[in-house]
Chains A and B, each alone.
Chain A
Amino acid sequence: MSKIFPKSANALPLQIIIFLGILGGVAAAGITYYATPAYLRVGYQPVQPVPFDHSLHAGQLGMDCRYCHTSVEKSGTSSVPAAQTCMNCHSLIKTTSPLLEVVRQSYTTGEPVPWVKIHQTPDYVYFNHSVHVNRGVSCVECHGKVNEMTVVSHDQPHSMSWCLDCHRNPAERLRDPKDVYNLDSQTLAAQGKLADAQKFVHDWKVKPPQSCSGCHR
């Protein structure tokens, strides 16, 4: 047979393998870094129709989260408040501010304020707030320091693996139930009271579901 390939072609298979390996590695790394919720979601900070400032209301003024997000203790959703809740104060305070025009319109006409949804889970995931906040998981664990946010941004990835990190080891992320709405408080573990946290998990029978039925219905 005549020689089709030059001798240097002998190195080709190895080169191809190495190239594919590097390509695969780069692709995997790229996807892992850029195409996972940790990158895609964290930092999402859309413009809201009303420039509501949590750092002012929840931070400076010290309003409890539950004043507006009323159903968080009872139901699966922590509801965004109706315009009526805003008007509780703003019918007396800043009554003519142009920033609140949308809220006033909503209150009078009933048309909802089109808040942009930041934290979204897919339709096949059923997350329930009430069972978390009533059992020692603070708002800040998942939503970050909302009381310091001027505009709310997505603080944590909210990927399934991130949820499971806590579900597999709840003791590290729990705090005293009375501290749940105090976003400046610390988890029991951070205060060095991990043993207390573990006792809490034992006494309260905290057994976060780890099988699919916990969230997928």
Chain B
Amino acid sequence: MKRKFDHSAPAQRELTGPKYWRSLDELADTPGFREHLAREFPEGASSMEGVDRRQFMKLMAASFALGGLGLAGCRRPEAHILPYGKSVEYTVPGLPLYFATAMPLRKSAIPLLAETHQGRPTKLEGNPSYRPHGGASSLLAQASVLDLYDPERATAHTKKSDTLSATQVNDLLANINKTYAGSGEGLAFLADESASPTRARLVAKLKAQFPKAIWAEYEPVQDEPPVAAAQAAFGRNVKPLYRFAQARRILSLDADFFHAESGALYYSREFAKGRRVTSAADADKMNRLYVAESGFSLTGSMADHRLRVASNHILALTAAIGGQVLETNLLATLAKGLEVNAQWVEQCAKDLLAHRGESLVVAGAHQPVAVHVIAYAMNAKLGNLGKTIDFVEVAPSGASTITALATALKAGSVKTLLVLNGNPAYNAPADLDFGALLKSVPDVIRFGYYNDETSALAGTHLAATHYLESWGDARTVDGTIVPVQPMIMPLFHGLMEVELLARLAGEDKPEAYEQVFATRGGDKKAFEKFLHDGLVEGSAYQTVRVAFDVQRAGAAYAKTPAFVALSKENLEIRFTTDHKMDDGRFANNGWLQECPDPMTKISWDNAILVSPKLAAELGIVPAGSLLQVARKEAAEFYQGRENARVFEVTLNGRTISGPVHIQPGLSNYTIVLPLGYGRTASGHIGTGAGFSAYPLRLSDGLGFATGATLRDTGKRLQLANTQEHWSMEGRDIVREANLDEFKDNPKFVAGIGMESHTPPVLGKDAGKDPAFIATTTPRGNSLYETPNFDGIHQWGMSIDLNTCIGCNACVVACQAENNIPIVGKEQVMRGREMHWIRLDRYYSDGKADAEAFGAEGNKALPEDPQVSMQPMTCQHCELAPCETVCPVNATVHDEEGINVMAYNRCIGTRYCANNCPYKVRRFNFFDYNKRATDALYMGPLGHQSEMPELVKMVKNPDVTVRMRGVMEKCTYCVQRVQQAKIAQKRKAGATGDVVIPDLTIKTACQQVCPVEAIVFGNIKDENSAVSLAKKQERDYAVLGYLNVRPRTTYLGKLRNPNPAMPDYAALPLSRIEYNNKNHPAHGDDHGQGHEAKPGGHE
């Protein structure tokens, strides 16, 4: 018995229906329609005579609307399938298409593969064809896809308040070409730096056409060593390329090559190759890192020996080490004033000298020329040239500086100024007062992606395209030429930079595609290969042989900055490129704002970072509750919110104010000001986030400056800090050992933690391989039945803590892949950030001790700690505590070992998150996807009741978008797993070969990780990468004693300190704390570790 619908009635409507597509008038004339109308409105029909056109239209519309409602789809809302009119090449509906492109950033680029769904890019991966990156990409590259779909990007070209059409813009540019033809007097450009060959070609054309025009390039942050240093040292225009993989001993002089230096992605990967230890046998190959820095960078966190030195004093330190390495005392005058343990300098130099040809000295890009020259000299003396450091010849850019441009602007000689990208009104050196200068130019044309601070001062704004919708090209750090090709037509009819330059140059074929094609030589086949591969093989910069020229180099030492003694009244400011905001360009990117800073763990804000010593002198060290172990800030973290004091920083008469965060590990009198925040015209996410440090930055102190003072304003500001508890408190969360201990006792992880002192958690199966344990080891007769792990694959993951650098790329990659929403600062302060993977950062100074309450060791903030990083995600426990407590069975385990979350079944009890020992489950307290982050509590009554159309486009269609009230967590990228299984089964056919080959599936976090710390795969396959990783002696499970049997295990961290150094500790500081806490009475067997024996220790 089924309801039968009388769908047959409107036979005439079927005949007349389609025709109404053409015009209503036409339809009105057909007899069928007249009859229909007569049937619907008997009274109205008679009044149709003499009715005017408007009423007629209204009635028609109403009747058709009713008709639509009444006759079809009564049972449920009608959904539609909308196919293409004409098929699109290569598109298979439901499958993504991958295209090669690149993300340009200053003078380098990251080659990418963009995953596009139905013509729009949703996820970016590294291009595996580019071997130096090996398919990895960076935090910024992962987040850049969200910028494409930013509703607050510039959507129209404007002149004053009028909108310009494309033709008008083309005319405008052609006009400039005509007006300045021949001389270019009065024309000026201020562009960002770029390594694009097409742009270089077009700029050369522009310079030829407008010889008197000023072409200036400006980047607020300097990430490449100054050219003057190479000129002084080698007499050539070369830049260094470091080969970290070949280096055994590395000295970093304020160089953050994991993040801030150009080529950081390449360097991280290479460094990890030298750091990775797979067994005790090849342990000797592990490199050793010495870092001297003023802030606490990621590079510093990886250091085996770290020296806190103010950036201003780095020159003196370099001179001191240089004197030892070069065996000269010519540098002695430069080293004067340095207050550093002489033995540190001596032993470091000795270690470098003992490794000729496999050592490396790297100086931070922002350091003065003299530091670089001495570093080059050291490398030359150590025989590293051509081995661990290569030099490549780069064509001089020939661009003016912003200072030269400012002079011209002040002189009034510029009539038309084109600002291409960048944001000089926001980040130009403060002494130039660029904002005022912009106002003084009669015609300022700004080409930019956002309507930002510079656009506000410009008369004309040309909306730029995002790189994902542009044609262009770029060069990677080693010079390989990569394409930038659009994934989608410009969403808002923006202008491409290449086209802008081509039109200015009066090119015949100004379209960006034609220009890039012409740069490649105009060969169609070669160009197609270029676009397909994503790079040009063999186009890297040529390495050149250089020789250090002592005579010429001597000149560089003549103009060295003076050594400044620092104190509380004479502080040094270190301006750092922020990990997430970069120089401020990503301010409106919600993913980056919410991603916590890797070291401070603050999101949505920046802070003035001060050292604990300075904090003590300023009197702002919190007098917290003493019941809290190793958490001095308790009083300042009311209900988990960091209640930061607002201080004013004054430098050279300029003042800014911002919240102060006490950062362990800083040089005593250096305060760190991260750049890129405090935007005033950046969209609702970026505006007002943090404070801007740019007003303090002068042309002669772009990286660091001395002479600053701090003053307490008495105000407070709450910061969203995602991890205020920085101590492991003597627990074995991150298990570390020095390399020497590892060589003696490869299974040191087994001697640490509860499992070392309890009967073996897995009983007689301890030590068997994970696949055996999964299928055979008894589960303990719980009432809750877990499935038999009889799946064809058994998934597992291994995370190598030894190579993890803490860059946070995995956090944003996971967010991009899994449609994780942002929640806003308020919610992050309540601990509700939605990241499925988090980077835990622990400080250890060896002082935390057993007396948890009130012990002295637990009360002070560490001044010079060691840092341990640990990515923490759902561990996919085989005996998951979350599964047993779900009242509706929304979280279950599948046969292949993945702990699965069925969102539709979840009723939001949150008991699973309560029970999770790792606290990795995230709950959607609000409808974060649909509602604006500042109106969450208003719900549908708030100002945003739907996700903006544009933002919907970034969502990955293969993953559910979760609503309010649902729990979510890491799924081991189950969508990728299932897609791969389906693809394999499809291919397998009768062969029955349904096992997926190893490394076909890469989870999002694994794919993005530059150092390959995360490995995912089939633990049933004993030759898979993950099985080999788990077989290593350093393999352990966090909180393994709980017998939850996590499928994600970690590889213990190794440190490689030099026993001759004065700050040598026989054990990593976290181990000393562990021993303090757990073995306080053992006396003399500290640090010996225990042999792991089943049955506990003897």
Contacts and interface: CB of A to CB of B under 8 A. Distances in A.
B71 A213 contact: no
Contacts of B86: 82-84, 107, 110
Contacts of A43: 2-4
B986 A46 contact: no
A114 B80 contact: yes
The residue in A44, A111, A213 that gathers the most chain B C-beta atoms within 10 A of its C-beta is A213
B92 A134 contact: no
Given A102-B18, A102-B21, A45 B7 contact: yes
A60 interface: no
Contacts of B900: 211-213, 216
Instruction: Tell me the interface secondary structure of chain B in the complex.
Output: loop
B892 A112 contact: no
Contacts of B901: 212
Given A84-B87, A204-B990, A117 B982 contact: no
A122 B904 contact: yes
Interface string A96-108: 0011011001111
A70 to B, nearest CB: 8
B85 A109 contact: yes
B870 interface: no
Interface in A128-179: 128, 130-131, 134-135, 177
Contacts of B902: 124, 212, 216
Contact of A124 (B4, B15, B904): B904
A115 B81 contact: yes
B489 to A, nearest CB: 14
A193 to B, nearest CB: 16
A85 B93 CA distance: 14
A105 B21 contact: yes
B82 A204 contact: no
A205 interface: yes
A39 interface: yes
B784 interface: no
B898 interface: yes
B14 A51 contact: yes
B94 A106 contact: no
Contacts, number: 178
Contact of B84 (A46, A82, A209): A82
Nearest to A131: B982
Interface in B59-82: 71-73, 75-76, 78-82
Contacts of B986: 73-74, 130-131, 134-135
Interface residues of B, number: 62
A58 interface: no
Contacts of A79: 83, 92-94
Interface string A67-98: 00011011111011111110000000000001
B393 interface: no
Contacts of B73: 46, 116
B982 to A, nearest CB: 4
Contacts of A113: 82-83
A43 B1 CA distance: 11
A15 B960 CA distance: 49
B894 interface: yes
Contacts of A115: 80-83
A205 B792 contact: yes
A114 B82 contact: yes
A72 to B, nearest CB: 10
B80 A44 contact: no
B892 A212 contact: yes
B638 interface: no
Contacts of B82: 112-115
A195 interface: no
Interface string B978-997: 10001001101110101000
Nearest to A123: B960
A116 B78 contact: yes
B959 A80 contact: no
A126 interface: yes
A66 interface: no
Nearest to A117: B79
A116 B80 contact: yes
A167 B152 CA distance: 47
Interface in A1-53: 39-40, 42-47, 49-51
B974 A213 contact: yes
B85 A71 contact: no
B903 interface: yes
A120 interface: yes
Nearest to A107: B85
A110 B79 contact: no
A75 to B, nearest CB: 3
B15 A98 contact: yes
Interface of B: 2-5, 7, 14-15, 17-19, 21, 71-73, 75-76, 78-87, 92-95, 787, 791-792, 892-896, 898, 900-905, 958-961, 971, 974-975, 977-978, 982, 985-986, 988-990, 992, 994
Interface of A: 39-40, 42-47, 49-51, 70-71, 73-77, 79-85, 98-99, 101-102, 105-117, 120, 122-124, 126, 128, 130-131, 134-135, 177, 203-205, 207, 209-214, 216-217
23 contacts: A39-B2, A45-B7, A47-B71, A71-B95, A76-B982, A80-B81, A84-B87, A85-B87, A105-B21, A106-B85, A108-B85, A115-B80, A115-B82, A116-B79, A122-B904, A124-B904, A203-B990, A207-B792, A211-B787, A213-B974, A213-B977, A216-B902, A216-B904
Given A102-B21, A117-B79, 16 more contacts: A40-B76, A45-B5, A82-B86, A84-B87, A98-B19, A112-B83, A112-B85, A114-B80, A116-B78, A126-B978, A130-B982, A211-B900, A214-B978, A216-B904, A217-B960, A217-B978
The 8 A-B residue pairs with the shortest CB-CB distance, nearest first, are A75-B94, A211-B894, A112-B82, A110-B85, A82-B84, A77-B94, A79-B93, A117-B79
